[in-house]
Amino acid sequence: MDRDQCLALDAQDPLRAFKDEFVLPEGVIYLVGNSLGALPRRTAERMRRTVEEEWGEQLVGGWNHAGWYEQPLTVGDRLAPLIGAGPGQVVVGNTTSIAIFQAVAAALRLRPERRVIVSDAANFPTDHYMVQGLAGLLGGYEVRDLAEGRFDDAAVVLLSEVDYRTGARQDVPAVTAAAHAAGALIVWDLCHSVGAMEVDVSDADFAVGCTYKYLSAGPGAPAFLYVNPRHQATAENVLSGWHGHAAPFAFETDFRPADGMRRFVVSTPHVLSLAALDAALDIWERVPMAQVRAKSMALTSLFVDLVGDRLELASPADPAARGSQISLRHPEGYPVMRALIDRGVHGDFRAPDTLRFGFAPLYLGYTDVHDAAATLLEVLDKELWRDEKYAVRLAVT
């Protein structure tokens, strides 16, 4: 496909108007929306309002009048449709790691007779690390890698819908059914799928995810936690903080969980960070997710076609079997990526040899993908990555 054909596809793109809702620096093709989503234009004004009008003018009254107190639930309700959930099933706040701890600990207490946690070495490391920390705290639990393939004695299975490294996509309904058939509960990590495709966790037991990737809610934006309604009356939040209490302003001595999802709110929400998430959801409530997925598959396929067989494809070749990301292998991946970034094409690198490119369909076009692939081929053809300045490692790579 040549550049003119890409321009024509962009002109016909039903999502093309969304690009104007994001701030993108001149001369940059940003293929890292799978790590940190671009800034929505509306967010700056929303932050100003929350800081100057809510905090500045309402002061502590903001907890009532600006709705801060309810935001973990009200913003959760706004996010819920993006993961196939309904009202009263999602809370936002804290971080993905904390939400994993809450979900896995709750699942273990719902399956007290079992002592195995199945996690996946291909999960993003924090998932695995948090489970290790929980297992170490409790004692007597085995953390088994998914590769062993056995769910039969598992209390809980923790998996990612989309693999952060390769973009490979799990079959959520099939794996959920397999876990349930074995008597296990399942926790899905949706960090790399939410906002990039239609997600449906309505059969899952728990789900977690972050909002700073495709959802563009800002660096370190709050995470979300989903609890299936069938568990809400019995699931315990072991991080039983004041905001999860049934009557916080009674200041009782003993914890008594609130009904429903409120019990999973731990403590004072990060209001400023939540404001940016709420602003991003002003966009997402207008986004037709089936179109996002269709465009995402077209963009990743275009990139693979244009790069051809110049680099080993680490992602599944079938677009239906991957998320909105393409991973390519190169033994000198680090300087290759630095050389690309120097030419305005921003991807990232994951040791030891993986170049990652994320495709956020709301602000990337076909022509962007064409130009990114052309730049990558030029960096490879001319061996531009051999410049010494690209060998110097940055702290965060």
Q: Which of 19, 78, 213, 293 is catalytic?
A: 213
Nearer to a copy of itself, 5 or 64 (CB): 64
84 or 164: whose CB is closer to a copy of itself?
A: 164
Please enumerate, by residue number, every residue annotated as part of a binding site for pyridoxal 5'-phosphate: 96-97, 124-127, 189, 192, 212, 242, 268
Tell me the pairing of strands 39-40 and 29-30: unpaired
Taking the least distance from each CB to a copy of itself, the nearer of 84 and 167 is 167
For residues 336 and 270, the answer to whether their CB atoms sit within 8 Å is: no
42 binds a copy of itself (CB under 8 A): no
Instruction: Check residue 170 and report its DSSP letter.
Output: -
Q: Residue 35: helix, strand or coil by DSSP? A: coil
In sequence order, which ranges of 114-239 are alpha helices (DSSP H)? 125-138, 172-181
382 is catalytic: no
Catalytic residue selected from 22, 30, 206, 212: 212
The C-alpha R_g of the chain, in whole angstroms, comes to 22
- Interface with a copy of itself, residue 142, by CB under 8 A: no
Residues 6+ apart with CB under 8 A from 90: 76, 77, 79, 80, 83, 224, 225, 226, 261
Residue 212 annotated in active site: yes
Q: Counting contacts by CB under 8 A, is residue 18 touching a copy of itself?
A: no
Closest C-alpha among 224, 274, 275 to residue 44: 275
74 binds a copy of itself (CB under 8 A): no
CA distance 102 to 138: 14
Give the one residue of 168, 199, 210, 364 binding a copy of itself; rule: CB under 8 A.
210
Annotate each residue in 282-321 with x if it binds a copy of itself (CB under 8 A) or - if it does not, as one string. ----------------------------------------
> Could you confirm whether 226 is annotated as catalytic?
no
User: Of 10-18, 194-202, 218-226, 295-303, which part binds a copy of itself (CB under 8 A)?
Assistant: 218-226
Task: Centre a 10 Å sphere on the Cβ of residue 173 and count the other Cβ atoms it contains.
Answer: 12
Active site residue 303: no
| Active site amino acids | 124, 189, 212-213, 356
